[in-house]
């Protein structure tokens, strides 16, 4: 069945499963996936003034300025093939970003504006536990969790067979608390913005990956 929605934003607190569920949707319905967190981590790995600035902000749990991320997104939106749907993970994260996105879409990609905003609801206690235990394959980026998603064979990535895993530098207890504060103050106001536009669907994000994925499947309709 063709999906009902193909122009999607996925929102939620840090550790709510946005990256994991975007990957599922991307695979199932062939969307173009843009993760601003992944893009910024690539920038922060570069030894340039911008890379060092971005790294300093991310590692401490602060947001990158709206102006910077909007420049990045303007370029990224141009890369979405016309025939493809898309999913935006981690953007918009502030109200000015949400408004700017509407303007960029109206001018850059008319007729392909958002048709669904998925909001993953997960209480703080869960997100802290999820973030503290997560890691990814250093080679292919497949995501794991020490409690909820271990590799089938200990120490070996299920997807590519490599043996090195890494953790994000901002996935420490102190930084998670700060990221949650930023989320409350700057990102939560975006929720009523999309609710007023009739785009918002709330999903209970607590539970195993496949259970949450099934709830999303029922909404997206694939």
Q: C-alpha distances in angstroms, 40 versus 6, 35, 44, 102, 112?
A: 24, 9, 6, 21, 25
Smallest gap, in angstroms, from Cβ of residue 63 to ligand AMP? Answer: 4
Alpha-carbon distances, residue 44 vs 49, 69, 83, 94 (angstroms): 9, 13, 31, 21
Q: What is the 3 state secondary structure string of 150-200?
A: CCCECCECCCCCCCCEECCCCCCHHHHHHHHHHHHHHHCCHHHHHHHCCCE
Spatial distance between the Cα atoms of 109 and 171, rounded to a whole number of angstroms: 35
93 binds ligand AMP (CB under 6 A): yes
- Interface pick for ligand AMP out of 11, 29, 34, 69 (rule CB under 6 A): 69
Active site includes 134? yes
Annotated catalytic residue within 28, 168, 215, 217: 168
Question: Least separation, in Å, of the C-beta of 126 and ligand AMP?
Answer: 15
- Residues 160-179 binding ligand AMP (CB under 6 A) are 170, 179
Measured distance CA(32)–CA(36) in Å, rounded? 13
Residue from 12, 13, 14, 205 that binds ligand AMP (CB under 6 A)? 14
Q: Does 17 bind ligand AMP (CB under 6 A)?
A: no
DSSP state of 64: P
Point out the catalytic residue in the list 6, 55, 130, 134.
134
Considering only residues 42 through 61, tell me which ones interact with ligand AMP, judged by CB under 6 A. 57-58, 61
Residue 3 or 216: which CB sits closer to ligand AMP?
Answer: 216
Region 181-210 residues binding ligand AMP, contact defined as CB under 6 A = none
41 is a catalytic site residue: no
Q: Toward ligand AMP, which CB reaches closer, 24 or 57?
A: 57
Strands lying side by side in the sheet with 200-204 = 32-35, 86-89, 7-11, 116-121, 200-204
For binding to ligand AMP (CB under 6 A), which residues are involved? 14, 36-37, 40, 57-58, 61-64, 69, 90-91, 93, 97, 170, 179
Cite the active site residues.
18, 93, 134, 168, 179
């Amino acid at each position: 069945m063709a999906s009902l929605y193909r122009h999607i934003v996925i929102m939620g607190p840090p550790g709510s499963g946005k990256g994991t569920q975007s990957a599922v949707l991307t695979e199932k319905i062939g969307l173009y996936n843009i993760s601003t967190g992944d893009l910024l981590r690539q920038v922060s790995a570069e030894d340039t003034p911008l890379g060092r600035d971005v790294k300093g902000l991310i590692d401490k749990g602060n947001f990158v300025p709206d102006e910077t991320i909007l420049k990045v997104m303007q370029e990224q939106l141009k890369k979405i093939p016309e025939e493809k749907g898309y999913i935006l993970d981690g953007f918009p994260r502030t109200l000015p970003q949400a408004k700017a996105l509407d303007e960029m879409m109206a001018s850059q990609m008319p007729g392909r504006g958002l048709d669904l905003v998925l909001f993953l609801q997960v209480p703080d206690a869960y997100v802290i536990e999820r973030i503290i235990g997560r890691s990814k394959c250093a080679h292919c980026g497949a995501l794991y969790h020490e409690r909820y998603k271990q590799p089938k064979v200990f120490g070996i990535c299920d997807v590519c067979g490599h043996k090195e895993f890494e953790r994000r530098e901002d996935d420490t207890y102190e930084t998670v608390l700060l990221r949650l504060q930023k989320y409350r103050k700057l990102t939560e106001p975006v929720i009523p913005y999309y609710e007023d536009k009739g785009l918002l669907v709330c999903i209970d994000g607590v539970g195993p990956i496949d259970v949450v994925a099934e709830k999303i499947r029922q909404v997206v309709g694939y």
